[in-house]
């Protein structure tokens, strides 16, 4: 539900509402992370391990 509200606000090009909805989404994500014992470090490690290879664009691994 929260993700949908972010998309709707963004599609409406309403910056203030988009910020409001992103804050709601971030809150719910943080509650879920705490409930599941997921740290920001876990998220950063996951992001660092990813790399995107496309026919036109190659993104280097993040450090």
Q: pLDDT, tens digit, for every residue of 8-40?
A: 999 999 999 999 999 999 999 999 999 999 999
User: Which residues lie across from 58 on neighbouring strands?
Assistant: 53
More confident of the two residues 40 and 54? 40
User: Model confidence at 60, in pLDDT bands (50, 70, 90)?
Assistant: low
pTM over 0.75: no
Select from 30, 50, 53 the least CA-distant residue to 61: 50
For residue 51 the two structure tokens come to 């790399």
User: Model confidence at 55, in pLDDT bands (50, 70, 90)?
Assistant: very low
Q: What's the distance, CA 18 to chain centroid?
A: 13
Q: Which residue has the tokens 């606000």?
A: 9
């Amino acid at each position: 539900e929260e993700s949908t509200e972010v998309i709707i606000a963004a599609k409406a090009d309403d910056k203030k509402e988009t910020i409001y909805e992103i804050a709601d989404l971030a809150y719910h994500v943080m509650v879920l992370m705490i409930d599941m014992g997921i740290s920001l470090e876990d998220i950063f490690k996951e992001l660092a391990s990813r790399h995107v290879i496309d026919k036109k664009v190659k993104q280097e691994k993040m450090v």
